[in-house]
Every structure is written in structure tokens, then in C-alpha cells.
Amino acid sequence: MPLQPNSPEARDVAYLLHPYTNFRQHEEQGPMVIERGDGVHVWDTGGKQYIEAMAGLWSTSLGFQHKRLVAAAVKQMETLPYYHQFGQKSHLPGIDLAEKLMGLAPTTVSKVFFNNSGSEANDTAIKIIWYYNNARGRHQKKKIVGRVNGYHGITLAAASLTGRSLNHAGFDAPLDRFIHTGNPHHYRCGEEGESEEEFATRMAEELDALIESEGPDTVAAFFAEPVMGAGGVIVPPATYFEKIQKVLRKHDVLFVADEVICGFCRTGNFWGSQTFGIEPDILTCAKALSSSYLPISATMISDHIYQAIADASAKMGVFGHGYTYSGHPVAAAVALETLAIYEETDMLGHVRSVAPHFQERLQGFAGHPLVGEVRGVGLVGATELVKNKETREAFAASEGVGNLVNDLCAQHGLITRPVGDSMCFAPPLIIRDSEIDDLFDRYAKALDEGLDALTRQGKAVA
């Protein structure tokens, strides 16, 4: 259907350049324009209601239209709408938020630097790692290890660290110094008859061999999400991080935990690092830090890193890194209120109370003819769609099966996110059992319709 002249959809196509978008397709179809939200629901400009099963972008943890967050922003805007943290300047919301985060963070970290996005948080971590090794006289120890299919953002360094080809193609990425080790997806990458523990051992051995081949004196850090989010909700195999950390300690390689998606109760603990026994040297977070009401992220570093870079800043006269909006007082105030709400409402207790039902309903799709694997933890999960359930044969990317099912979900008033043919779910943390049922009931209808369409076309084995 042609776009109506001067409609929001037509004006969007005329003027706006979208992230993660096929521009030619967008010119033909136009956008879904979301006008308002409340709780776990959003409405488009036509008045249609949707369950936001991805909390926006894995991020609107307290749902839409939380009055306390709005009030916190207004109050701070009326008090101090902006100030910076350059050159020993500060403000109370930034100080209070730093103190609060350090009280919640793993004991392995001791200082926090504020940024505006997860990508920036990881870029800052990379720069600190390089600064740290220069400060210690280890000028060759600069290579950063990511993982195939891992996601750490899309600024130039973060995109280089990210292990997904679609974030590299056309952008001349990855840059030098960025290398990648194996994808810890047992379903897709495990060998026949290989247990999760055996697969984890092989992944650790591959990392060890990579570091040895590159030269341990050249490898500085390893980045990992506790659960790979944008890679399709890949939950690590049993014993994986235990074995990976032994390799890193052997070679004096820093561990950076990217908690941008997993932090703030998503996996059933406050941090994904707690869920999987990770002891990070650096931890990055964003998204649910402010329930995404305003942009803010954090890079938290251990004391041994801080002491080295503090000495270097004294020698050089300054630590020459920062953003105009680092620790923006309004964003910091909203983040503080978000953390207060988590605590006062026992958000972690709530997640633990509804997560079993969420996972049970999710696992209910394991027998569906179109579903090869179901995976998840806490309030995050995915179903991987396959052409042949018995052989695990995947659909060709050109068939666009994930997008087909995603469109059917939207028809049933459900917003999901396809990562290839993995359909992902990460609803607002406030979701209730009845809303979980509504979410997956809608998904079941879309999945059945997708199977019917693909079977009729001879593209799927029913």
C-alpha cells in the first residue's frame, strides 16, 4: 500500500536514516510508528496495541510510562539540567549514582566511568585497557579478543570487537588488534556426541591456542556477554566460563564482562556475572541502568587498573578521555531512581518468581516442528527456527524466515526481534504471569501460521 502523503510514515521515509534497516525495503514499506506505551504494552499511530516482548531493545526494564522516572527527570531538570565531569568538576546525581553502583557491583571493581551507550561503555573499556598496558610498559599487549557472534556495540572499536559479519561488512571492520575466538553455541557448534562440558573444554582450548599463537605478550583482554544477546540469546554451555577464566589467568589477560543486556536482574541475579560465576576485571552496563528512559552507561574497573592509570594520568598531566554528556545529571538522576525502584519493589524477587513460568512457556515450543532449539535463562530466551528439526538444517538467509514470523507476530500484536531465524524475547522485568501467557499465546499463533505458509511453499518439513 502506498504511503499517504504527509503521513508520519511518509515523512519518516523522506527524512530519517534508520539503524539496522534495509533502506530500499524501508522506502517501500515505511515504518511502524509507535505513539505511546504503558506497562508492557505499546500502541502505534493507528491505535493497535502490542506486547513489547523485547522491552524496546532488551532495555525498558520497568516498562513504559513509569511515573517515578518521569518525576525524577523533571525534578533534576528544574535543579541542574546539565553539567559535566571534566577537569575535576562534578555534581550530586553523578556522585550518588557512582556510590550506589559500587555498592551493587561485583567486588572485583572499584571505580566507575559514565558514558551514554553500551557501545561507548565498551569503547571506553578498550581505551582504558590500552592506557593501562602503556602505563605498565607493556606496549605490545594490546590485542582484544571477542567471540564469533558476540555483540558489543557498533562504534568503530566496539564493532570491531563484535563478532558478527553484518556489523563488519561494508564498514572496513574489524580494525587491527581485534581477534575472535569460537562461538559457544553448543546446538550449532558442538560436535556429534559432544557434551556441553566437553564442548566448553574445547572452546577453552581454542582460546588458549589462539592466545599462544598471537603471543600472550600481545593479548590484553577478552570480552564476553554472560548470555550472548544480539547473537540470538546464546546461553553458555555448562562449565564454560570457569574454564575460560583459567585460560585468561594463565596468560594475564583481563576479563571484561559486557552486562549491557544481562545486568540488572535479567538473568535471575542482579548481574549475569553472578549467574555464571564470572569475576570481571572490568564490567560494562547500560540499558536497564535507567530503564532506557534516558541514555546512560557505565564502565566499572578494578582497583589494580585504576591505580596504574591514575599514576599515568599524573605523569601525563591528564587522562585524555571523556564525553560531553558523561554522567549527565538528568540521566544520572533517572538511573538512581531506577535502582531505587528495583530495590524497593524487590525486582530481583519478582524476576525469580515469574521466570520459571516464562521459561516453562518458552520450553513449550520445543516440540514445535519449526523449532530446532529453545534456550534461555531468567527473563530472556529464544526459539531457533529450522527447516528440518531432525537434521537441524537451517533455512537459507535469503528465505527470510525470521522476518516472516516476525511480521506474523506483529499482526497478532506482538513485537519480537529476529536474529537471523532465532526469535528473541526479553520483556520488561515487570511482566506478570498472565502477560507472559498472553505473549506466548500470540507467539504460538504466529508460529503456527508461519509453519503453514512455509509448508505450503515446500520450504519446511512439518
Give tens-digit pLDDT for 147-183: 999 999 999 999 999 999 999 999 999 999 999 999 9
Tell whether 2 is covered by a domain. Answer: no
* Dihedral Cα 252, 233, 365, 238, nearest 10 deg: 0
Which domain CATH number covers 58?
3.90.1150.10
Q: Return the exposure string of 355-382: e unless at least 16 CB atoms fall within 10 Å of the residue's CB, then b.
A: bebbbebbeebeebbbbbbbbbbbbbbb
Residue 435, C-alpha cell as written in the block: 502477560
402 lies in the same domain as 321: no
| Mean predicted confidence (pLDDT) in 47-52 | 98
Tell whether 18 is covered by a domain. Answer: no
Answer whether residue 235 shows pLDDT above 80.
Answer: yes
**What confidence score (pLDDT) does residue 460 get?**
75
In the block, cell 506478570 appears at 432
Answer whether residue 320 shows pLDDT above 70.
Answer: yes
* Dihedral Cα 336, 343, 258, 209, nearest 10 deg: 150
Answer whether residue 459 shows pLDDT above 90.
Answer: no
Domain boundary among 291, 322, 344: 344
When divided into structural domains, the chain yields a total of: 2
**What confidence score (pLDDT) does residue 185 get?**
98
| Mean predicted confidence (pLDDT) in 291-305 | 98
Are the C-beta atoms of 371 and 385 separated by less than 8 Å?
Answer: yes
Tell whether 185 is covered by a domain. Answer: yes
Pairing state of beta strands 49-52 and 111-115? unpaired
**What confidence score (pLDDT) does residue 462 get?**
64
**What confidence score (pLDDT) does residue 414 get?**
98
In the block, cell 505450503 appears at 456
Tell me what percent of the residues of the chain surpass a pLDDT of 90.
98
pLDDT digits (tens, 9 = 90+) for 78-109: 999 999 999 999 999 999 999 999 999 999 99
**What confidence score (pLDDT) does residue 141 get?**
98
| Mean predicted confidence (pLDDT) in 344-360 | 98
289 lies in the same domain as 403: no
Tell whether 361 is covered by a domain. Answer: yes
Nearest to 357 by CA among 329, 371, 332, 378: 378
pLDDT digits (tens, 9 = 90+) for 338-349: 999 999 999 999
Tell whether 126 is covered by a domain. Answer: yes
Domain boundary among 311, 344, 377: 344
Cis amide prior to 174 (ω within 30 degrees): yes
Tell whether 40 is covered by a domain. Answer: yes
User: Alpha-carbon distance 136 to 165, whole Å?
Assistant: 34
Tell me what percent of the residues of the chain surpass a pLDDT of 70.
99
Query: What residues make up the domain containing 318?
Result: 68-344
108 lies in the same domain as 143: yes
Tell whether 442 is covered by a domain. Answer: yes
| Mean predicted confidence (pLDDT) in 198-211 | 98
320 lies in the same domain as 361: no
